[in-house]
Structure 1
Amino acid sequence: MSVKLYFIIMLSFLLGLFFVAGETFASTTTPSQGLDSLKIQLDTTQNVESRAELLFLIGDQESKINGTTALPYYAEILEIASEKKNPVMRSRAYNRIGVLWYIENNMHESMRNYYLALEGLREIPSNYDLLCGINNNIAWNFQKQKDYKRALEYYNTSERFCEMSNNQSILAHVLNNKGVVFKDLKEYDKALSQLKKSRQINKQQNDITRELFNINNIGVVYQEQGHYETANKYFIQALILNQKRQDHFEATNNLMNLGKSYYMLHQYNAAEDTLKHALRLSEITRSVPQRHEILNYLYQVKEKQQDYQEALHYYTEYNNLEDSLFKQGQYTDLIELEAKYKSAQNERILQESQNQLLKQQYINTLFLIALLFALLFIGILIWIYTNKKRNEKKLIALNKEIDEQNDKIQTINHNLEKTVNDRTKVIREQNEHLREFAYMNSHNIRRPLSNILGLLSLIEEETDPQKIKELTSLANETATEMDEIIQEVNQQLREEKL
């Protein structure tokens, strides 16, 4: 009995120290001079990218004071991202806005902005850090709605992106959150495994803040398993460090969890003192969920102590917070929003496939047209070549005919010596006339022949089908002209009887 009394006295003394420290922390004002300095820099910054980064910093600072005052800064970032066509900046802004709406307890708006953030990274999936963070935030929203299956899906996706980015700090955060989900699913071995991995990483990274999250959560797992004494060691360890660091929010969580353990151990006075101290700290943190849970346990403690008047007081406060915490229909909206997002993704993939198919059909059509033009060009070349050979044959036949006529004349001259003697003078005159005639007509024939040869040379070098057609037409006209000249020569030869 004396040992128990000694324990209670020591606990009261320890809680008294925490209370004094808490009141000291509460009197300390949060410095805002950094925010004012950033706003002054913003007014004098002309570079768009530098301005966007300043807006991010100001938005982050404002969100710690009042989330709604930070929204205009992120809205300006979205305008800059749209103007600069910077999808990464756009996704960063939507992700921050999603966090703000989460703090305001508007899960639907929070999730909508997270999906908009993912949408901006659809074309650049290599931005693993940001993808890791966004998927973690979506998982957290589902976790808060107690949809642990969806939460784990997004946490697993987030973990893959974290490992791809080799960002150990974010990976530790995701593992911590997964550990909490496994705890809620009562898969305690998996929960402890995830939390201890996270703590190990945070210790290596010298991230004391997140390591303290791990310590508190490990304590919660042991608490739910019924190992209250073991759990309390973790809660007290985290509590002492959080009080030193003036982290009122986490200190409140530690005190709240410690109070739960005392309650489960039936140490109601210790539980009451611990929870009341947590309640006072929750006034500093202004966390409605924390205050809600503390009031619930205080109501149960006072009921166990049979102090029904005070129990009713705490129960009334607890119920007054119920409506502000749990808005009806939000979870259904989250599921509908996720379904719309996935449906939009499927439609986009289908549209891209259709566009790719149309592009391939267009390329095939162009190839077919090019092939038809090539076949037409080859046909024209064959036709030109055939005409050339035909004209050459005509010229050869004409020369042969002239040669035959010369041979016939020579034979006649040889056999008819008398006639030759009698008509020597006439023949000489006729031969002279014939030579002049042949000379003149050979020039007349040579001119169109040269033109045809020139046109054929141009056709061989030409690639434009229209020009080839025009040149071919000219060649035909010249060939016809040459044919008429040849016929005229023949006619003249017949008329002259040469």
Structure 2
Amino acid sequence: MLFGIAVMIRTGKLLLLFFLLLVIKANAQQLNNSIASLIKRTVKDLGEEKNDSIRVRLMGKLSYSYQYVDFKKSFLYADSALRLAKKIDYKVGIAKSYNFLGLTYATIGKLDLALINYLAALKENEKSGIEAETAKNLNNIGETLIKIGDDTTGIKYIKRAYRINKKYNNKNSMAISLSLMSEVYLYRADYKNALSHLYEAKKTSNHTVGAFDDGYFYNKLGKIYLKQGNLDSASYSFKKVLNIDETEPDQKISTLFGLSEIAIARSDFKESKKLLEQALEIAKKSNARLELIRVYKGLSDVAYQKNELKNSISYLNKSTSLKDSLLGFQTSGQILNSLNKIINEQKDSENDQLRLESKIKQNELSKQNTILIILVIGITISIALAIIAMFSFRSRNRAYTKLNLANEIIQKQNQNLEQSVEKRTATILEKNKKLKDLAYFNSHNVRKHLANILGLIFLIKEDGNNNEYLNLMESESKSLDETIKEINKMIHQ
């Protein structure tokens, strides 16, 4: 009876596994058809498009579509987009192309090259002043650092991304930042914070179209429950992923791996192996080399539990070899060195820029100081001239006042002088008139006496006495007459 029940349970599990595999294959086929259709349409649009900026965006879209389909084509389109964007100096396109190159390298596990391109994208966006786009670059850098085990540095970048996303209200990228924080807490076995941040990410995304979809959410949720030991909730979450159309290959692989771990925990090694083999097939087709490390490790553990030591060692060697090439000490060191080098170069560049800006500001300040000095001198001279002009104006006014006063005095004096002259002239005329009258009067009076003298003289002559004296008297009388004539003449001139 018990044996029959066990057989029924085992049969039920096998049927469930078979059903899951059918669902996975159906979804995979549907996803492949959808991707193929998208690629076909985009290639057609690219061939017809003449605008170079749009061509850059279309090539980026093709690179993203080919990530898990054909690495070479994904790289080719991203690289071509970068070259064209640089040629036309399309700043946004340059940054996005670097980001697509980073995503392409991350797909095949080349995390050092992925990180270099993410940092280049970040630098380009910062240089162009496109802060909103830097959040995506910071998320990618943080995720890469978490993958190589540097969660301390990784979360710093993620928190920067979150602040920028919040500033620009970028819901989808903000949700990615929160989910990456959740992954850090999961890495630190802080399941409470891991769950709270993941649910906050879900709430923030609010079903917006983008990278944070239901498949992404339930895959992350399943991982947390699995690490927490809640196998039923983990199984439920993982199965939800498999029922979602257009699930990304990395999500499928991670989901199948999670289900295989649940099967191992329940000692169902056969089911675990089938799930891992399915994951292995998808990982190989999609070039998901980081996922291959975990799948090979899982297959090694299952083989060991089944006492298949040879297979266990073989899978373990494949996992170790791939891990050493992608995440080994040397590679991880190179990644960190690359990160430090790029960060230092970026800081040096920023310092050079700051020094240049400081020098420019100093030159501008010097020019401003020179202009200010000239302005102050000009103002001082203007004030001095104004003061001089004011004093000159006052002096001139005082001079004009004095001059006016002098003119008034002169006018008064002139008026007085004219009056004096007129008065004096009148006086002189009056005196002249009197003098003329006097001269006339005296002249007649003198003539009268003179005439008398002359008469007397004539009488004396007639008598014959004293002729000589009389002649003298006559002569003097004549002289007197001449003198009087002269006086009259002078008066009448």
Structure 1-normalised TM-score?
Answer: 0.70
Superposition map of 1:21-420 within 5 A = 30=33, 32=36, 34-47=38-51, 49-63=53-67, 65=70, 66-70=73-77, 71-82=79-90, 87-122=91-126, 128=132, 130-201=133-204, 204-205=207-208, 210-239=213-242, 241-242=243-244, 245=246, 247-326=248-327, 327-328=331-332, 329-345=334-350, 348-349=353-354, 351-353=356-358, 355-383=360-388, 389=395, 392=400, 406=414, 413=421
Structure 1 distance, partners of 2:342, 2:40, is 38
Q: Report the alpha carbon displacement of residue 189 of structure 1 after superposing the two structures with TM.
A: 0.7
- Going from structure 1 to structure 2, the CA distance change for 1:109 and 1:209 (only over 3 Å counts) comes to closer
Structure 2 distance, partners of 1:6, 1:105, is 42
Contact 1:175 1:198 in 2 (8 A): yes
Contact 1:42 1:55 in 2 (8 A): yes
- Going from structure 1 to structure 2, the CA distance change for 1:209 and 1:267 (only over 3 Å counts) comes to same
Contact 1:302 1:311 in 2 (8 A): yes
Contact 2:49 2:55 in 1 (8 A): yes
Secondary structure of the structure 1 residue equivalent to 2:88 = helix
Structure 1 distance, partners of 2:336, 2:418, is 119
Opposite residue 16 of structure 1, the aligned amino acid is F
Q: Report the alpha carbon displacement of residue 102 of structure 1 after superposing the two structures with TM.
A: 3.0
Secondary structure of the structure 1 residue equivalent to 2:229 = coil
Structure 2 distance, partners of 1:209, 1:378, is 71
Structure 1 distance, partners of 2:169, 2:392, is 75
Contact 1:169 1:205 in 2 (8 A): yes
- Going from structure 1 to structure 2, the CA distance change for 1:58 and 1:260 (only over 3 Å counts) comes to closer
Name the structure 1 match of 2:18.
16
Q: Report the alpha carbon displacement of residue 179 of structure 1 after superposing the two structures with TM.
A: 1.0
Percent identity of equivalent pairs: 17
Structure 2 distance, partners of 1:278, 1:57, is 26
Contact 2:273 2:302 in 1 (8 A): yes
Structure 1 distance, partners of 2:127, 2:182, is 32
Give the CA RMSD over aligned residues.
Answer: 3.9
Secondary structure of the structure 1 residue equivalent to 2:149 = coil
Contact 1:142 1:150 in 2 (8 A): yes
- Going from structure 1 to structure 2, the CA distance change for 1:287 and 1:322 (only over 3 Å counts) comes to same
Deviation string, structure 1 residues 15-64 (Cα, Å, up to 9, x no partner): 33444555667778656465455445445444455444444434444555
Structure 2 distance, partners of 1:416, 1:269, is 158
Structure 2-normalised TM-score?
Answer: 0.70
Stretches (4+) displaced over 6 A: 24-28, 123-126, 206-209
Q: How many residue pairs get matched?
A: 417
Name the structure 2 match of 1:434.
none
Structure 2 distance, partners of 1:245, 1:33, is 13
Structure ranking higher on relative contact order (CA contacts 8 Å, 6+ apart): 2
Structure number with greater Rg is 2
Opposite residue 308 of structure 1, the aligned amino acid is L
Contact 1:159 1:171 in 2 (8 A): yes
Opposite residue 380 of structure 2, the aligned amino acid is L
Structure 2 spans left out of the alignment, 5+ residues: 433-493
Secondary structure of the structure 2 residue equivalent to 1:306 = coil
Q: Report the alpha carbon displacement of residue 176 of structure 1 after superposing the two structures with TM.
A: 1.8
Structure 1 distance, partners of 2:341, 2:349, is 12
- Going from structure 1 to structure 2, the CA distance change for 1:19 and 1:55 (only over 3 Å counts) comes to closer
Structure 1 spans left out of the alignment, 5+ residues: 425-498
Deviation string, structure 1 residues 379-431 (Cα, Å, up to 9, x no partner): 3455456566457579669858966985796598479669965999xxxxxxx
